[in-house]
Every structure is written in C-alpha cells, then in structure tokens.
Amino acid sequence: MGGNRWRGRLGPAVSIAPGARVDRFEVFFDLVFVFSFFIITRATAAHISGWQLAHAMLVLAVLWWCWVVHCVVATRVRLGEGFVPVLMVVGMAALFCFALSLPQAFSDATDVSAGPMVVALSYVVIRGVHLALYWHVAREKPGERRLLLKYSPEMAVSTLLLVAAALIPPQIEDPGRAALLRDGLWVSVVLLQYGMGLVAGAWGWTVTSAEHWTERYDLILIIALGESVISVGVGSNLLGQPPTWPSVAAAVLGIFFTAALWWAHYDVIAPAARIALHAAEGRPRVSMARDAYAYLHLPMIAGIILFALGAEEIVHQVADPEVPVADPAHGPGVLLLFGGVACYLCANMLFQWRTLRTVSWTRVGAVLLLAATVPVGQRLPGLAALTLLTAICVGLVAVEAVVMADSRRALREMVFEEKTTHEAHEAAWRARWREPTPDEPST
C-alpha cells in the first residue's frame, strides 16, 4: 500500500516510445561507469602484469554485463520519469560500491577481506534493482513475466558464484589453489552471463527505439575513450611538475591518436550502423543490437583500457625528467599501446561486419601494420613510439577520408538531412508555446 502511495506521488513509470532519445538522468547514471572504468585502469596501472590484466578483463566483463542488463531495462521504461529515478539511484549507489571494491576483488585469495564480499553484495543489489523494475513494467504482460523467470537462474547462479569467490578461497591454505579457484569462479560467472545471452537468442530482448539503443552505446564508448585522455594526463603529470617539451608533446600526441580512434568509429561506421539498426525489424533488429552493441562493444572498450594503460606507461616515462628522452621505452607500455589499438580496431571491424556486412581493407592494413611495428616501437624512445602510433592512426583516418569520400559524403548528407528535419519538427512543436490566445493580439 505504501509503495503504491509514493509511486503515485512521484508518478508512474513511462514506457519508451519508438523515437525516444537518451535522457539526462541516464547520462547522470553513467557517471558511475566513468568512475568504474577509471578504477579498473588505475588498479591495473599500479602493477601491470599478465595476471593483473586478466583480472581487469574479468572485472570489466562482469561490469559490462551489468551495463547490458541496464540497457535492456532502459529499452522498456524511461529511467528519468516517475518513481524510476529513485529506484535507479539505489542501483547507482550499489554500482558505486561495486566499483570501489574492484581493486580488492582479486587481492590475496587466502585473506579474509571485505572487498570481494562487497563486490558480491553490490552485484546482488544492482541486478535486483533491474529485475524489480523489469518485473514492474512487464506486470500487464504475463507472457513477459514468465519469460523473465527464465532469465532469473542466470542472475541467481552468477550471484552465488561471486559469493563463493569471496567466501571459499580464504578457507584454502594453499595460495595457488585458492587463487585458481577464485579465478575459476569468476570465469564461470562471465561464461554463464554471456553464454546465457547467446543461448536465449532474441527472447526477452526488445529494442523499441533504435535511436535510444545506439545513442546509449555511443555515449558509453565516448566515456571509455575519455579514460584514455585521463590516462595520458595522469602519465604526463603536468600538474605535479614543471612542464617539459617532451611531456607536452606526448600529451598532444595522446589527444591526436585518441581523436583519430574516435573518428574511425563515429565519422562513418557508427551513423551507418545506426541506420542499419533502424531499418531492421523484429528478431533481426534484436539480434543485431545484441551482437553488435551488447557483445562487440566489450572488446572495443577492453582495447581502449589496454591502450590507455600503455599510453600512461609511456607518457610517464617521457615526462620523467630523470629518464633521458633518447632512451628506448621499457616495460609493457608499447605492447599495451599498440595491442590495445589493434584490439579496438579488430572489434570495430567485427562491429562493421555485423551491422553493415562490409569490411574496410584500410583497417585490415592498419591492424597488420600495428602488429608489424610493435618490435620497432619497443626499440624506439617513448616519444618516437607514440609518434609512430599516432601516424598510423591519423594515417588510417586520412586514407579513409579519401577512399570513402563519395560514400561518406552521401552518408553525411543523409544524417544532416535527418538532423535538420528533426530540429525543424521540434521548433514547430515549441512554436505553439508562443502562439497567441484568441483574446490576445499577435505580435
């Protein structure tokens, strides 16, 4: 009774319309994901190793599945309307606690610590909020509620696995066996989540507004690219010491190659994929939305985090006044930088194939060039390695701007026409606010 009262005062949940766009509350909610990406990168940068990178990817995969479920819910109900924001703030707080505890999720497996348990409990709250909201919006469709129950085992089992990963390893005296069990449980969570999404197919997924779905993922990818900018700034540490020309040059190169990677996706591929998703209907639309956005955006973001780690490592060496500028880059920075960009471009090519059924030979060539130049970059000074990578990324964009000039021009004209039509429609609708009443003279 009390729940109905406060829902009545705040307003009911409002369904998503076919032409819906992302609202401001959703962008506000994304701030926690900004923090989550930042925490994953910072925790990994503190001590880069193969195990640390593997753990970071496991944490990212579980975090990303929370994002996917969040987006599935957001395709059914406007998150910024009625009582829904109150419920989502609870999930936002849980997600914040989840992110805060991520650095301790893979600490010493034989020690009893609060971090892994907070991760598990926060995950329960996040998924519970999404489940409750989806159950509410499906209340008038018994078929959907029955379908939702089919997905409940995934949430229950993945939660139990995370709780087991927090509680069981500390009971094992052998550190190696304890760490192996904990990592195995986390891998099981990831396989269960993404495997369930594939086995279930298009059941239970709905993409009412293709515009909302694509915009949602476009924004989170931009947030991830912003993490690379932060990493370059942290590595250069221009606020903590007098700037030098190598550190300034490295920071500028970091901005240039990040902008080139943004351009590689958002100039042609992203708007063309958005149109393709709009054109698809029924299960083909849902399958494309799942494969291209929910699944293939994960390796793109993983690549961004990897090259952000590499950029920070190299820029930090370049900015260190005690390290001669001519010294070759040392550590895993070059491999992470070039490998991360290659991972991003490979995932982007898969995204392009899934949505447009095309592959750009320029991107295949760029990935092969990145792989071939890794040994060269490891022998070069850090600033020269950054210059080489930036030249490859900017060169890719420049070549595609020439090779794809005609198709790019046609696409941009279509997108611009769509945008101006939408703006004209909005302007005409808002003009009614200024229309004089019958008793008022027009001015």
Q: Which residue has the tokens 């952000």?
A: 308
Tokens of 29: 């909610």
207 to each of 16, 150, 202, 261, 441, how far by Cα in Å?
Answer: 10, 19, 10, 27, 47
* Angle at CA of residue 426, ends 420 and 427, nearest 5°: 85
Same domain, 181 and 69: yes
- How high is the pLDDT of residue 370? 96
Domain count, the chain: 2
- Checking if the pLDDT of 1 tops 60, the result is no
Three-class SS of residue 15? strand
For residue 363, what pLDDT is reported? 96
What's residue 443's pLDDT? Answer: 46
Instruction: Name the residue with higher pLDDT: 174 or 6.
Output: 174
DSSP 357: S
State the residue range of the domain holding 363: 229-422
Does position 129 have pLDDT exceeding 70, yes or no? Answer: yes
C-beta contacts of 407-415 below 8 A and 24+ residues apart: 407/268, 408/267, 408/268, 411/268, 411/271, 411/272, 414/275, 415/271
- The reply to whether 296 and 357 lie within a common domain is yes
Predicted confidence at residue 202, as pLDDT, reads 54
Tens digits of per-residue pLDDT, 254-293?
899 999 999 999 999 999 999 999 999 888 888 999 999 9
Q: What average pLDDT does this structure show over 2-18? A: 64
HEC per residue, 56-110: HHHHHHHHHHHHHHHHHHHCCECCCCCCHHHHHHHHHHHHHHHHHHHHHCCCCCC
Under 8 Å CB-to-CB from 215, ≥6 apart: which residues?
21, 22
Answer whether residue 219 is part of any domain. Answer: no
Answer with the residue of higher pLDDT: 379 or 435: 379
Question: 105 with 59: CB under 8 angstroms?
Answer: yes
Count of Cβ atoms closer than 10 Å to residue 376 Cβ: 13
Mean pLDDT score across all residues of the chain: 84
Distinct helix (H) and strand (E) counts, the chain = 16, 0
Could you tell me if 143 and 248 lie in one domain?
no
Residue 298's nearest CA partner among 56, 52, 48 is 56
Choose the weakest-confidence range: 136-140, 329-333, 379-383: 136-140
Q: Are residues 347 and 414 in the same domain?
A: yes
Once rounded to an integer, what is the mean pLDDT over residues 345-352?
97
Instruction: Give the pLDDT mean for 199-203.
Output: 61
Does position 422 have pLDDT exceeding 90, yes or no? no
233 and 380, same domain (yes or no):
yes
Among 85-89, 105-109, 170-174, 335-339, top mean pLDDT goes to: 335-339
Domain co-membership, 168 together with 245: no
Query: Do the domain assignments include residue 417?
Result: yes
Average pLDDT over residues 190-194: 92
Q: Which of 54, 278, 310 is nearest to 184 (CA)?
A: 54
Both 184 and 110 in one domain: the answer is yes
pLDDT at 175: 82
Mean pLDDT of 369-380: 94
DSSP letter for each residue of 43-59: HHHTS--HHHHHHHHHH
Same domain flag for 66 and 134: yes
In the numeric block, which tokens belong to residue 429?
A: 């609708």
Residue 45 and residue 1: Cα distance in Å, rounded?
A: 50
pLDDT at residue 82 tops 70: yes
pLDDT at site 229: 80
Q: Is residue 438 part of a domain?
A: no
Q: What is the pTM of this model?
A: 0.90
pLDDT of 96 over the 80 cut:
yes
If one compares 118 and 141, the residue with the highest pLDDT of the two is: 118
